[in-house]
């Protein structure tokens, strides 16, 4: 996949990758993002919070490829905030006629640069140490 992407000049985004896939991405220069959130299909079932990226963000940050799934959500401010805190791209997924530019631009400078901090949001040590 990496060789084919190189030949045609496109990048690769991993979706719901397992840790072994994310680590393999270190040998595939065309992998630019590894999604840290679960699918909306699971989220709609309301058993898994789609915005919960605290653990998976650690690995995505370590390999330099963070990304939170496209925001199509009844709680758009939360989704834009979490996408921004992932330090990856912020990607609205609503239909063009439903996009609220003012809402989306709250995560950007006037010229459209995403306002990021140095590290993504992650789970704190005491929550995962056992």
pLDDT digits (tens, 9 = 90+) for 7-47: 999 999 998 788 898 899 999 999 999 888 877 665 566 66
pLDDT bucket at 50, cuts 50 / 70 / 90: confident
Domain that holds residue 66: 2-128
Is a pLDDT exceeding 80 seen at residue 73?
no
The band of 127, judged by pLDDT with boundaries at 50, 70 and 90, is confident
Half-sphere exposure of 107 (CA within 13 A, CB side): 24
Domains contained in the chain, number: 1
Of 27, 35, 32, the C-alpha closest to 3 is 27
Is the predicted pLDDT of residue 117 greater than 70, yes or no? yes
- Percent of the chain clearing pLDDT 90 (strictly above): 19
HEC letters along the chain = CHHHHHHHCCCEEECCCCHHHHHHHHHCCCEEEEECCCCHHHHHCCCCCCCCCCCHHHHHHHCCCEECCCECCCCHHHHHHHHHHCCCCCCECCCHHHCCHHHHHHHECCCCCECCCCCCCCCCHHHHCC
Q: What is the mean pLDDT of the chain?
A: 84
């Amino acid at each position: 996949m990496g060789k084919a992407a190189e030949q045609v000049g496109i990048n690769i985004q991993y979706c719901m990758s397992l840790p072994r896939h994310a680590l393999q991405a270190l040998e595939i220069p065309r992998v630019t993002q590894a999604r840290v959130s679960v699918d909306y299909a699971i989220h709609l079932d309301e058993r898994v919070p789609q915005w919960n990226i605290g653990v998976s963000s650690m690995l995505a940050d370590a390999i330099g490829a963070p990304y939170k799934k496209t925001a199509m959500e009844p709680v758009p401010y939360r989704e834009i905030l979490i996408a921004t805190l992932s330090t990856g791209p912020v990607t609205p997924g609503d239909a063009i006629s439903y996009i609220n530019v003012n809402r989306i631009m709250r995560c950007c400078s006037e010229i459209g640069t995403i306002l990021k901090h140095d590290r993504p949001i992650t789970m704190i040590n005491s929550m995962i140490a056992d």
